[in-house]
Amino acid sequence: MNDQTESQLLERITTCVEQRSVQGARELIDETPNAVIAEVMNELNLEQQLTFLRLLKTADAAELFSYLDDEVQKNLAQSFSEDWGMKLLQSLQSDELADILDELPANVTSKILAYTPLDRRQELNKLLQYGDDQVGSIMSIDISSVFEQYTCEQALNKIRRDYQKKGAELVHYYYVVDSSAKLLGVLTLEEILFADPNAKIADIYSPVTSVTAYDKKEDAAKIFSDHDMSVLPVTNKEKRLIGMITSDDVIDVINEETTHNLHHLAGITKNKYESEYLKTPWYRLTKTRLLWTFVSLLFASLIHILLVVLSNKLTGGLSLQSLFILGLVPTTIILATLFGLQTNSQVSRALSLEEVDVHTDFKKVIGKEVLVGLLLGVFVFVLNFSFLASLHAAFGNFQIFLTQTILALAALSALILFVSAIFATLLGALIPLVLAKKNKDPNAWPVVLITNIVNLLMTAPMFFVLLI
């Protein structure tokens, strides 16, 4: 959706809200895909979002609600205090409602569950018991299955009833079970439709691969890939059919796993509030980078100690200035490489997934990364100064360390790392953004090239100081 179309759609939605136009809102929902409307609605305030949803039929509002961002869904659900809001939530698929309940405060969850019919409440409680990494946490339980003893006509009638009365999902594949609900096989809707109405389901279904609700989501994703499937049945430990997962669910799993692996390689810790780049506050971005910054600085300080000891032994002693610069070079290289890699991986990923529009979000990204760089700079400034204090207190003359010269050199070293943090973070974000703005692949420049540029620019002045 281009900027002009987005602005026009935003104007239409705003007009519907201001005029309380039921007809306008319902015409809009009929003309425009839900995903497109949801993208624009994410930009509205809470009151506008609520008003627009109230203008729609409950079923349409629930469908649109399911496309909204997780944070928007959470805020809306917390604001529902009337029957209309509760009915909207009850119109969601069970797995979608369970995901929302899992993010809400306990008192709000209790209120929603109290409004929920007993049989569905029991189903939701089961879904909420699964771990985040288990298949059960993403499966849909609103499905229709057919018994092996059915005829094709009976199977079609059951599928129709389940859809009309229970809101079962309409899919391409339907699973065959025995009288105890044990999974036997699968057949397509076409096979049921075009077979003789009196043909037995037992004679036409095919074997099927399944997963249990307790299997890892990544294992299910591998089965999807290996078997080229669009849906996969989910069973309990007794092999009884309890749900299914779709390719859409698995795409989300693959994205999560890819992001986790990419961040792990870049020294970024997992963020439990994981969301799109622009929607992640700068302080949370900083928090994900602190652990490996500390570890890297610790190792860099150990290298500093080794270099000081070795240089003293080989040369018979170096000047204080030379010792500080000698130890600062590897520290700067290690940290600048880490900062450039961390920033580049997050910004490049956001560009690749189109979470960031390089034309409209350029300044937002740069501003966010400058703030992250400043905070990381303060972090390494304090730690580096502390490490140097401990180092020279342990290996040097403690009285000498208290002199202004030592304090000044330690502060200067920490200041250089502070500048390196800001510069490396800024460059790590700037390069992929500039490449994307020129319609080139944001990953066209290897990360190693970016880090080498940062290292050269930050260490060259140190050698110049050392020579003079």
Specify the higher pLDDT residue, 226 or 391.
226
Residue 316, pLDDT above cutoff 70: no
Residue 102, pLDDT above cutoff 70: yes
Query: Which long-range contacts link 250-255 to residues 24+ away (Cβ below 8 Å)?
Result: 250/217, 250/220, 250/221, 250/224, 252/138, 253/138, 253/217, 253/218, 253/220, 253/221, 254/221, 255/353
In this structure, of 135-149, 166-180, 246-260, the range with the lowest mean pLDDT score is 246-260
Binned at pLDDT 50, 70 and 90, residue 401 comes out as: very low
| Beta bridge partner(s), residue 212 | 235
Residue 393, pLDDT above cutoff 70: no
Q: What percent of the chain has pLDDT over 70?
A: 85
191/455 Cα distance (integer angstroms): 63
Of 218, 220, 151, 162, the residue nearest 191 (C-alpha): 151
Residue 349, pLDDT above cutoff 90: no
pLDDT at position 272: 53
Average pLDDT in the chain: 82
pLDDT at position 276: 75
Exposure string over 252-273, b if 16+ CB within 10 A, otherwise e: ebbebeebeeebeebbbeeeee
Q: What type of residue sits at position 91?
A: S
Alpha helices in 359-446 (DSSP H): 362-395, 398-401, 404-437
pLDDT at position 267: 66
pLDDT at position 296: 86
Average pLDDT over residues 389-413: 62
Instruction: Give CATH superfamily name and number for 145-246.
Output: CBS-domain (3.10.580.10)
The predicted-structure confidence for 268-309, as pLDDT tens digits, reads as follows: 776 654 567 777 888 888 888 888 888 888 888 788 777 767
Strands 145-147 and 211-212: unpaired
pLDDT at position 303: 80
Residue 34, pLDDT above cutoff 50: yes
Residue 252, pLDDT above cutoff 80: no
Query: DSSP assignment, residue 68?
Result: S
- Residue appearing with tokens 């209790």: 110
Domain boundaries, the chain: 3-129, 145-246, 277-467
Helix (H) or strand (E) holding 450: helix 447-467
pLDDT at position 271: 63
Residue 356, pLDDT above cutoff 90: no
Fold topology of 3-129: MgtE N-terminal fold (1.25.60)
Q: How many CB atoms lie within 10 A of CB 420?
A: 27
Fold topology of 277-467: Tetracycline Repressor; domain 2 (1.10.357)
In this structure, of 13-27, 79-93, 205-219, 452-466, the range with the lowest mean pLDDT score is 452-466
pLDDT at position 187: 93
